[in-house]
Every structure is written in structure tokens, then in C-alpha cells.
Chain A
């Protein structure tokens, strides 16, 4: 007895040292290359209980869970009691002794994670090709065979998995490749079929991809809802989990007491593991951006070489991008200028309730022909890492769920289209809106959009109260006239193309630039958004003087509001040129650009509302 528990302790210790080993390895630079990613590799190719990574978005946080940290179990072969560790596992081994004194209860938290909503196809493509090394590791133990294996075997794998996957894979490769091709065809269909009855709760309609239940063992307080993280963890797809769920669900139907959970809740909280795998987290890092072209670590630390080289090129890339946008925006260079500013904007801080740095652009005067707005969106989607197109049709506004809502029956947060990750581009197509009646939901949705734009926050509906979640979403409104939504800045598109040629012209803008050039643009936009920025004292002084002078000349036309906007424009202009502090030139240029825009507004004065 004593011996057994000692042996158990040894297993326990070796287990934790292996965890430490994993963590160390993951800190290495090439960590992301050799770990297969749940984003790219279909679930049925991944070995259960192996190390995987997942680039995801925390959609919901479930209640904390108490589990058996260590427990004693009776070994079926030797009939001896063995101390086991329950960490990083969902299922215990057989013969658990619930009354053992050495049982230790520990706490873990469960987050429901989905792929980053609205992630552009190019991001998926590039990041999956980036980890090509890990990609070709279809395991021999592909699903059907895997399920036939006894659970014992699975658990053995777990214990001996101390050497990294990489070393084991090469010799499974040769014969694994052949039959995985065959299965590739059949697998998705079965997955789609089973997914139909289960709402995976993606924020955006039409999203695909795996979602997973992330089990967090430490520092769970550091995670926030709507955060994008890259998680390294142990994949658990034990069919026992789904079986347990099925069995529980059916029994709770019989049971008038309802157990502790309703069937609905059961279904949401323990979905079949084949559809929603469990991921036991070893290590996670927050993603400041999800652009695979940038170094993952962020710009601050030890990437100065990368940073300085990109900074040098920025002005040149900007000129190219400006030319490209001018072409897209029917030859309107000023609108193109503002579009760049919009795309590099970012809420960098909040002063009490005021978000600073947001730059919602209302592009009015969009031609109503040939689905200009949709094509325009496709171009933006090509450039930003994540985006979403919301056609503001009456039907959409009246029926869509924009604001996430807590469903108390299933005990989860029903996602809405405004549950988006930081720096997602939200493209609102107001040209789709027609005359008609907005119902209660519609009014609420429009109010939510207005709040999002003005305060960069979304009030989630918890039915008994609302809860405010700050966000950081770049909103671009395309409309024919002035938008009914508030915006930081409105610019009226002036087409340089004669109306008869418009159709043909629009057909042509779809032609994409070269891949290398596209990548340059993508990188440029992401970098510019991440830069730090400051204003030197002497420039502050001259800005103040300028403002006072402008007020003196024409107090009616310039207000504090305008100064706010000009400061943001100046900031974005500097950043878009790769300058991290405001120079006199940039300020003058910002003033000039603003002046051009205002004079254009005067021309198109068909505005009648009273508040800008």
C-alpha cells in the first residue's frame, strides 16, 4: 500500500516535470512550426492526447469546475491502488476510490473558444502554409481505429508522451499518407451532418471551423472575453466524453428533478468531443494581431531589426497603397487617403469613458451600381486580417442578433455579430437599406451600432441587466447619402469616372495586385496600427497656437470636436508614414487634408441633421 502510493507520487512528479519540459520547449522560437494547429489540420488527422495549438477567440466563459487533481484508482491487472493525476485529462481511469484520503480537489476553468471571427481567407492560407512541417502528420491511428482502441491504451500514450510528437511522427508518415487522402473526402460530410443539430455559437453567420472547450489550469483571471489567444495544449477527443453526455442527457429526461442541468445545458456544455474537442491548456499567449506575416511576438521586444526595416519602407508602400486605393475609389485620391487613415486606426487608450484613436469613416456617395460596395469590401478583406460585411438591409437589421445575449436555459452566451476581436474591420453597407419599418429588434440593433461607433463598447444583454464590454472595432460605413449612424468623419466620394463607363470600370477594379505587393500592403497596415506615438512639447505649442488662430478667424466653423478630429487625423497620418512622433509637417498636412474634406462637404451640402 505504502509502496503503491509512493509509486503513484513518482508518476505524478514525472508528469509535472514533463509539463515543465513542454512549456520550455514552447517558449523556443520555432515552437509554432512543429506543433500541428487545430485551425488547419482537420480534427480527425490529429492524434488524441497529443500536443496541438489553436488560434482562437474566447467566446464564452463557463463556470469553474472542480476536478480530481489526484486520485487513487485500483489497477485492474494488479488490483493494487495507484495514485493518479487528473490534470490535463477529462476522464479518470477505472476503479476510482472516491473515499481515499489522498484525493485532492483542484479547480480549473472552461472557456468556449471559436476561431477568430471574420478571419480573412488569406490569413488562414498563409498561417497553414507557414506550419507546413507540422501539417503532414496524419496519424496512423485515424478515427475509426482510434475508437476501437481501448481506453487503457490511450492513457498509456498519455503517460509516455513525454518526448515531443515530432520525434515520433517521421516513422508513421510513409504509410499514413495514403489512406488519409481517401478519408479526407468522407470526413467533412459526416462532420457537417452532425454539426447541423448543434449550434456551435459562432459570432458571425456562415462561419466554419472547429470550436473547442479550453480547460485552463492556472491564471485564468488573466483571460478576458473576446480575447484572441494562441493556445498550446493537449487535445482530448475521448469518445467517452460524448457517451457520458448522451447518457446523462437521456437520464435527465427521465428524471423529473432535472438533475442539476437541463438537457439543453448538458448539450451545450458537453457537446460530442468529435465535434467540439477539449483542449487542456499548457501555455497560451495573447495575440496582439492575427497577421501571420508579422513576427508573432509583437513589435516591442527584440524585433528592432524587423521594425526599422519596415519603417524605412513604409512611406514607399503607402504611396503604392494610396495609388491602389485611388484606383479602387474611382480615382478619388482624398477618399483613398482617408481610407488608409481609417484602416490604421486603433483605440489606443480610454480616458474615463472616451475611447481615443478611433476613426469611424463614413464613405458617402457610393455609386449604387454594379454592387460597388460588395466589391469594395472584398478588396478590404484582401488586406486586413479579419473583417465582416454587414449589409444593413431592413431584414438583417430586424432579424439579426447583433448583441450577444445570455441564454439562461442553456447557460451560455449566445453570440452576436458584434462580438468581434480587437481590430476587426466591420464594413456596414448602408446602401442596402431601404425605406421601411424597423421593429423593436431593429431599433435595438441600430442603437447598438451607434453605441459601438461612439463609445467603442457593446452592452451585452444579460436579461436582468446589461453588461458593458469595451471593444476595438474599425467601423467603415458605405452609404449613398450621409449615414444615419454617427461617425467620426464623413467623406463624400467624388467619382472621376464618367457614369457610362462606370460598369466597365467597376468590373476592372477587382483585379488584384501581385501577391508580393498584397503582402506588403497587409504587413504595412498591421505594422502602422501597432506603432507607438508621441507629441513633442514644441509641436504641442504650435498645435495650440494654430487652434487659437483658427478660432479667431472663424469661431463658428471650428469647435473642440474639430480639434479632436484633427488630432486623430494627425496621429494616423504620422503613423501611416511610419513616423512615431508628430512633426510640424504632418500637422500641417493633416490640417490641409481636413480642409480639403470640409470644403468638399460644403459643396455637397445636402445635410439637414443638426448634430455631426
Chain B
């Protein structure tokens, strides 16, 4: 790529100045010198240039006798975001021959264009789905409704979507993008005329200002190049710093020290043309600047940084300086992700009078016209601002892929190809990546239903659990990876800290909140402290996070899927124990996982051979094959993003029937042995999984096959994790109550046996713990462990039959 060259000089109108005035640069730091400096004047200044505080500088507003007094009665406010506009076109005519592009700025065309804008007011956008248009009738002219809103609310700002302009008139759009400084004022003009024509009695503080947004010129900070200078651009980024408020001079007030005649001069691109001669008394160099009577506007410097998603790997993010003016000051805070529409500027470094050489570098910044926070809506609803834009072809390829019958298997195998087999686990994670359909029952008082699937992986160390987590974390755009060992409750939720600059208390969000709408991968789940784990209870079912810290009480959304990995407590999975006993996690938490998989080391020759082959090939595969897989990862990411945004499957009639049957079946299995084997939570899991599976197929309807797969996967996971090692049956109560039904039954039996032993002893109010254990052991035909004995004692004391104090057992009553 050769360095792009352009000629901003060609567009920099207003540089060549009217010979009657002398200009000098006036950055804020030097303005106090204005009144002092004395340079030789040449000709008296031009009157039209100097005194037009109320003129908006455009010809039609100067036409005498127009009946639209509304426009004239309302003061126009300076638009520092566009620089001073009033002079630019005039100067242009003098200095440059009107070329094709130059003509755009010429006055004759300005009027023409301004007439062209009128029909835009009739623009209708029935497809509009933006939040800004809520409450507006989509079948009526959009901007007329907005004008009406302005007349009611009195906020003189009209946001105009550039896409609308483009679909309305491509040429106008091009002009808007290329010459924002000239074209936007014409928009202002047209809008004001229109407004006061329709609402002649409205009183506004200022004339309406038009703020275009969504200029599709540049989306990425990295793509900015010299050709964008002075053009309207939209970029996205993250605010990293905001400065204090800076007063910037808009209009300088000069007073003649001889005759006290005063005059006002507008600032043009940071310069003030100091009038050299007093027009009243014709004294030269008699005018001095009076600060108190000059006009200032608010200005703020904001630094934005490229958002991490837009960056090529291995490079550091770029930053750009942005200036916000007037009411846009203090609209954004550090940390906000925003879209900025503005004019890109390059200013040569100030020439220093003491030095003959200057740095040959320009300083660049953006004068912001419109801010749009991209994560604003995350606080109250779904963030569709994140909508990824897919090209037509991409959508086509995705749809082709979706149409393949084996798309589910394909995607599952594309997931973490370096990890061998574990097909069902990969399928489970795949469904987790897609997630269920979000349902909102908040109107009926039930709140949101969890749509995210939670998965727990447990198993032997060294079965690449961590690797799977890492893969998922790298795959999804909003993933977080923490380790249970390293994270505290604070790191997961949110904490309050004092901002070193503003001394304000700021709420800093932790991993769970950050992964809102993403996946939170938690490694070493078992090593997490209890207090930390307790935070997860709320997150994993209600999907919110309540914080009451340092006087800040709030509830944050944490609609995150949790993918956790846990190691067995005894380093090796003990097949003789239940899941709960193996990983020592509270069952209240376990029941919140939709799927719990065991990653065990199957010991079987055929498996070993396949595994060996897989691993060896991992170590010597050629570059091309690697390349292929890499493409797959990008494809997978797009596929998931597309499905998550555009596909919202609903249950079909058959599918609901199938789900009901499945649930009833699950309940039945248990009831045969006198226990409950399924709870409504399991039904909800099934629904989520079925929905996710139909998302995989890009189907808007959940059908029986989806339910079948959900059932299968759910059963597989249960078979692995909820099998009672004593009986070999699947027993959901292991996960819901932490104890299998057989174990409960056994406990009951031992307790009864113990009771008999005690009763056989007759009237002894107190017994030794050890003798009792010995007695029980002698009487029982099965081996009684100390734990079983303890449990039995506890059961009996629960019945208020006895109490245990130290090593003695006392009978009650």
C-alpha cells in the first residue's frame, strides 16, 4: 500500500483571506495577546463580513421581506463543530474557479440544494426499527414527526440518518459526506424554514441544528487516511479520557480605545481577524479585545480508542482526539463505547515566530457532530446495536451451510478441533453458544426467563477441560475467562472504586457483568471460595446481579452463559461416588446447570488408537490444513453471530407436545421407584436446548427433531452425571438434593436399625458413642461405616429422639 496522498488545500476554503483583513492564528492559549499585537493594516474591513451576528450567513436568510419571521426571530447558534461557516462560500468564489466540486459550495447551488432538501421531510421509513423512533408512526413522514416533537419538547436538535439521505438522493448524500461544512448549514436552513412554516408560533432557544449520523464512510479508526480530511465520517470506539470543560472563543468583542466604538468578529477556524482600523473614528490600531463581552462556547477534548474487536492481531489500538462542543460536552464518560459522527480535521502545527522551521506534521482531530452510545441500551434491553453487518455473500454462504442436513455435526466438529472426540460435550457447548430464545414475561410479573444454557464440565485432570474453555473464550466476542482460584466475589461481580482523576466513586464491573450476552468461562470452579460461589446463584437463574456497596445499590444485568470446569476433589474421579461427592459442590448450584458433563478418560483400545492418531497428526499437519481450519473458526463465529441476532425460534405445536411427553416420561421413570426424577427446571432446560438446536438449523420454528436432540443430549449428560453409582440408575435427585434416593433410603434403614438397638437396651438415658456404634455393627448384617452411623444419629436427632453431645448420646423424652 502506498501512502495515500491528497490535496486538502484544494478543499481548504477560507484559507486565502480577504485582503482587507489580517488574520493570525488564535489558539486558545494565545488569545490574550490579540489586543496587544500590532501589525500594519491595509484596507478598511469589509462590512458584511464583520457585523452579522444574527445572520446565519446564508443568502436566503438575508432575503428581505420574507414573511417567515419565525426564522429571523430565533437566534442562530454558532456551530463550532463545523467551524465558522458564514464566510467559507464567499471566499471560495474569490479564490478558486468554480470547478465541478467547487460549485457545490457556490451560493447559487446552495439555494438549489436547499430546495432539494425539502422533499426529504416527507421521507418515510417503514422498516425503521431504531429505538430513537419509538413512539413515532412509521408510516408517516419521519422527520415531520420529529419536527413536531421539537416543537413540543423545545430541544432544537434534529438527528438525521445519513442512510435516509442516501436512499433519498445519492448525490446529496455524496455532497453531505464530502462537504459537511457547507452542506450541513443548508440543511439547517431548510429545516428551520420548514419548521417555522409549520409551527410559526413555536419559540425555540436557538434555531434548529441538524445532526447527521450514520455516515457509512468509515467504520474503523484504522482506515482513516488523509483523504478523509474535512469529510463527514462515522467511526466507532471507546472513550478513554475526557478533559475538563474548555471555554472557546466564538466571537471576539473589540472596542476602540479612542472612541469606544465596539465591533464583533467571529472566529474562523481558530483565527480572529483583528480589525486594524476603527470604522468609527478611523484610528488605526485602536481596537482592543474585551474578554468579558466576547462570546465563548463550551468545548471538551475527548480521546477515543479503537474498540478491541476492530483491531488486527499483534498491534496496539489507535487513539483519536475528538472535540465536543456545546451541549455535546459531558455527554460521554470514559469507558463508554460510542459511535461518533463528525468532521475529520487536520491542522498544521503552529508556526513559531522564533523558529524558521516547523514540524512537518499535522495534528488531527474530529469535530464531533453526533454521539451515539453503542452500549447504552444494554442497561435496559437487548443490545441490537452490536448487530454485525454481514455482506450478502456471507449471508448466502451461511444459509447454504445451514441448509446442509448435517450442519449440526459439522459445526460440532469444527468446534475446538484440537480436542479429541467428546462429541456430545462439543454439541452441548455448541448449543450453549447459540442459546435459547429470550422470552419476556415481565408484564405478567414473572420477569425474564433465562435463555442461556449453563454447562459444567467435570472430570479427570488433564482431559483438556481448560483448553475447551480457552477455545470458547476465544471464539465468542464477549467472553470472559476467569479461574476460580484467582477470582474473588469482587472480581466476578462489581466493585466500587475511586476514580483517581475525578475523585468520583465509580462502579467497576467484573467478569460476570462484562460477559453480559456472552459466555463466562470459569475454570477451577471447585476451588472457588463459598462466598464467591454464592454470587453465582442469582446470576445463574435470575440473570441479574444485585450490588449494595458503598452506598451504591443497583441491579445489573448479567445475562451470561456460564461454562465452568471443575476437578474432582480426590484428583481422580471416583466412579464409586456420585457427582456431588466427587466435586463437592452444593447441589443448589449444580441444579442450575442445564448440562453437566463428565470428561473421563475412557480406557479402551480403539479409542486410544484414534486418540493417538489425532494427537500425532496435530504435530505435523501442513500449513494449508491449518489455514483451512482457521477459516472455519471465522465462519463458525459468523454463523453463531448471525443465528443469535436473526433467528428467534418459537415452539411449534408438535414440538410442545413432544416436550410435554418427554417431561412426563422423565417424571414417570422416577415415580416407578418412588422418587421424583425431573423438576420443572429440567423442562426449561429441554426447551432451551431445543430452541438452540433449531437456531443451529436457522429455523424459526422448533420442531420435533430439535426436541429429540435436546432430549438425547440431556439424557446423555444425565447418564454421565446423575447416575447413582450404587444402583446404576439415572437419578436426578443426586443433582437436585445432593443425595440419591437409594442413599436416602439406606440412611433411613440405618436410622431405624439404630433406633431398635437403642430401644433394646431398655431405659438408659445416656450411652457412649463408641459402644453404640459397636452394638449397631454387631446387629447389622451390612457393614456400617462411621459416616453412616453419624448420619443415622443425625436423622434421629432430627426426629427429636436423641441428642449427641460430644461422645455421649442422650435420649430425649
What is the interface of chain A, defined by CB distance below 8 A to chain B?
60-61, 63-69, 71, 76, 86, 89-96, 98-108, 151, 217-219, 221, 223-227, 238, 240-241, 243-244, 247, 251-252, 254-260, 349, 351-354, 356, 406, 408-409, 411, 413, 443, 447, 454-455, 462, 464-465, 467, 469-470, 533-535, 540, 543-544, 547-548, 551-552, 555, 559-561, 563-564, 567-568, 571, 610-612
A354 touches B346 (CB 8 A): no
A65 CA / B316 CA spacing, docked (Å)? 15
B303 touches A101 (CB 8 A): no
**In the complex, the 5 A-B pairs of residues with the closest C-beta atoms, listed nearest first:** A610-B571, A94-B356, A224-B314, A255-B29, A547-B612
A105 touches B355 (CB 8 A): no
A341 CB to nearest chain B CB (Å): 15
Name 8 interchain pairs, CB-CB below 8 A, sorted by A: A69-B3, A98-B348, A256-B28, A352-B474, A533-B620, A547-B611, A560-B462, A611-B567
A151 touches B365 (CB 8 A): no
A345 CB to nearest chain B CB (Å): 13
**Closest B residue to A568 using CB positions:** B619
The one of B8, B474, B605 in contact with A105, judged by C-beta atoms closer than 8 angstroms, is B8
B479 CB to nearest chain A CB (Å): 11
Chain B window 608-631, contacts with chain A (Cβ cutoff 8 Å), 1 for yes, 0 for no:
110111011111100000100100
Counting residue pairs across A and B whose Cβ atoms lie within 8 Å, the total is 248
Residues of the A chain whose Cβ atoms lie less than 8 Å from the Cβ of B596: none
B612 touches A544 (CB 8 A): yes
Asked whether B805 is an interface residue with its Cβ less than 8 Å from the other chain, the reply is no
A609 CB to nearest chain B CB (Å): 8
Asked whether B171 is an interface residue with its Cβ less than 8 Å from the other chain, the reply is no
The one of A65, A406, A559, A571 in contact with B619, judged by C-beta atoms closer than 8 angstroms, is A571
The one of A102, A243, A353 in contact with B474, judged by C-beta atoms closer than 8 angstroms, is A353
B649 CB to nearest chain A CB (Å): 29
Chain B window 586-618, contacts with chain A (Cβ cutoff 8 Å), 1 for yes, 0 for no:
000000000000000101010011011101111
Interface residues of B in 404-453 (CB under 8 A from A): 416-418, 420
A351 CA / B483 CA spacing, docked (Å)? 22
Residues of the A chain whose Cβ atoms lie less than 8 Å from the Cβ of B246: 256-258
A61 CA / B314 CA spacing, docked (Å)? 10
Asked whether B357 is an interface residue with its Cβ less than 8 Å from the other chain, the reply is yes
**Closest A residue to B632 using CB positions:** A352
The one of B362, B364, B467, B483 in contact with A68, judged by C-beta atoms closer than 8 angstroms, is B362
B229 touches A105 (CB 8 A): yes
The one of A241, A443, A567 in contact with B615, judged by C-beta atoms closer than 8 angstroms, is A567
A349 touches B626 (CB 8 A): yes
B29 touches A91 (CB 8 A): no
The one of A92, A95, A447, A610 in contact with B359, judged by C-beta atoms closer than 8 angstroms, is A92
The one of B15, B244, B416, B605 in contact with A548, judged by C-beta atoms closer than 8 angstroms, is B605
Asked whether B363 is an interface residue with its Cβ less than 8 Å from the other chain, the reply is yes
B491 CB to nearest chain A CB (Å): 10
A252 CA / B346 CA spacing, docked (Å)? 19
B697 CB to nearest chain A CB (Å): 25
B788 CB to nearest chain A CB (Å): 27
B460 CB to nearest chain A CB (Å): 8
A65 CB to nearest chain B CB (Å): 5
A226 CA / B5 CA spacing, docked (Å)? 29
A105 CA / B229 CA spacing, docked (Å)? 10
Asked whether B315 is an interface residue with its Cβ less than 8 Å from the other chain, the reply is yes
A256-B246, A547-B609, A567-B616 given. 11 additional CB < 8 A pairs?
Answer: A63-B318, A64-B224, A92-B357, A101-B7, A218-B3, A244-B349, A255-B27, A256-B28, A555-B603, A560-B464, A610-B567
Residues of the B chain whose Cβ atoms lie less than 8 Å from the Cβ of A548: 605, 608-609, 612
A241 CA / B346 CA spacing, docked (Å)? 20
A67 touches B360 (CB 8 A): yes
B308 touches A467 (CB 8 A): yes
A151 touches B308 (CB 8 A): no
A467 CA / B346 CA spacing, docked (Å)? 30
Interface residues of B in 610-665 (CB under 8 A from A): 611-613, 615-620, 626, 629, 633
A508 CA / B148 CA spacing, docked (Å)? 92
B319 touches A560 (CB 8 A): no
A103 touches B8 (CB 8 A): yes
Residues of the A chain whose Cβ atoms lie less than 8 Å from the Cβ of B633: 352
A199 CA / B362 CA spacing, docked (Å)? 26
Asked whether B358 is an interface residue with its Cβ less than 8 Å from the other chain, the reply is yes
Asked whether B671 is an interface residue with its Cβ less than 8 Å from the other chain, the reply is no
Residues of the B chain whose Cβ atoms lie less than 8 Å from the Cβ of A611: 461-462, 567, 571
The one of A91, A96, A535, A563 in contact with B612, judged by C-beta atoms closer than 8 angstroms, is A563
A221 touches B359 (CB 8 A): no
A351 touches B417 (CB 8 A): yes
**Closest B residue to A464 using CB positions:** B335
**Closest B residue to A411 using CB positions:** B319
**Closest A residue to B95 using CB positions:** A99
A90 touches B359 (CB 8 A): yes
What is the interface of chain B, defined by CB distance below 8 A to chain A?
1-10, 12, 15-16, 27-29, 224-226, 229, 238, 240-241, 243-244, 246, 248, 299, 301, 303, 305, 308, 311-321, 334-335, 346, 348-349, 351-352, 355-365, 416-418, 420, 461-464, 466-467, 470-471, 474, 483, 486, 567, 570-571, 601, 603, 605, 608-609, 611-613, 615-620, 626, 629, 633
Residues of the A chain whose Cβ atoms lie less than 8 Å from the Cβ of B299: 257
A447 CA / B416 CA spacing, docked (Å)? 24
A413 CA / B358 CA spacing, docked (Å)? 28
B226 touches A66 (CB 8 A): yes
Residues of the A chain whose Cβ atoms lie less than 8 Å from the Cβ of B241: 408-409
A226 CA / B238 CA spacing, docked (Å)? 24
A551 touches B362 (CB 8 A): no
A238 CA / B466 CA spacing, docked (Å)? 54
B351 touches A96 (CB 8 A): yes
A413 touches B615 (CB 8 A): no
**Closest A residue to B602 using CB positions:** A555
Residues of the B chain whose Cβ atoms lie less than 8 Å from the Cβ of A226: 314
Residues of the A chain whose Cβ atoms lie less than 8 Å from the Cβ of B608: 547-548, 551-552
- Given A107-B226, A408-B240, also A69-B5 (CB < 8 A): yes
The one of A103, A225, A408, A567 in contact with B316, judged by C-beta atoms closer than 8 angstroms, is A225
**Closest B residue to A611 using CB positions:** B461
B603 touches A66 (CB 8 A): no
- Given A218-B3, A561-B462, also A254-B360 (CB < 8 A): no
A217 CA / B613 CA spacing, docked (Å)? 48
A366 CB to nearest chain B CB (Å): 26
A561 CA / B599 CA spacing, docked (Å)? 14
A64 touches B318 (CB 8 A): yes
B461 touches A551 (CB 8 A): no
A290 CB to nearest chain B CB (Å): 19
- Given A91-B358, A243-B355, also A260-B365 (CB < 8 A): yes
Residues of the A chain whose Cβ atoms lie less than 8 Å from the Cβ of B615: 560, 563-564, 567
- Given A104-B5, A107-B3, A548-B608, also A353-B316 (CB < 8 A): no
- Given A106-B226, A349-B626, A611-B462, also A221-B1 (CB < 8 A): yes
The one of A61, A65, A443 in contact with B315, judged by C-beta atoms closer than 8 angstroms, is A61
A506 CA / B232 CA spacing, docked (Å)? 71
A612 touches B462 (CB 8 A): yes
The one of A99, A543, A552 in contact with B12, judged by C-beta atoms closer than 8 angstroms, is A99
**Closest A residue to B569 using CB positions:** A610
Residues of the B chain whose Cβ atoms lie less than 8 Å from the Cβ of A89: 360
B612 touches A543 (CB 8 A): yes
The one of B4, B609, B613 in contact with A107, judged by C-beta atoms closer than 8 angstroms, is B4
- Given A106-B4, A610-B571, also A257-B28 (CB < 8 A): yes
Residues of the B chain whose Cβ atoms lie less than 8 Å from the Cβ of A258: 243, 246, 301
- Given A240-B355, A354-B418, also A101-B10 (CB < 8 A): yes
Residues of the A chain whose Cβ atoms lie less than 8 Å from the Cβ of B483: 447
A141 CA / B361 CA spacing, docked (Å)? 27
A561 CA / B312 CA spacing, docked (Å)? 33
Residues of the B chain whose Cβ atoms lie less than 8 Å from the Cβ of A255: 27-29
A92 CA / B626 CA spacing, docked (Å)? 49
- Given A66-B346, A101-B10, A544-B609, also A351-B626 (CB < 8 A): yes
A63 CA / B629 CA spacing, docked (Å)? 33
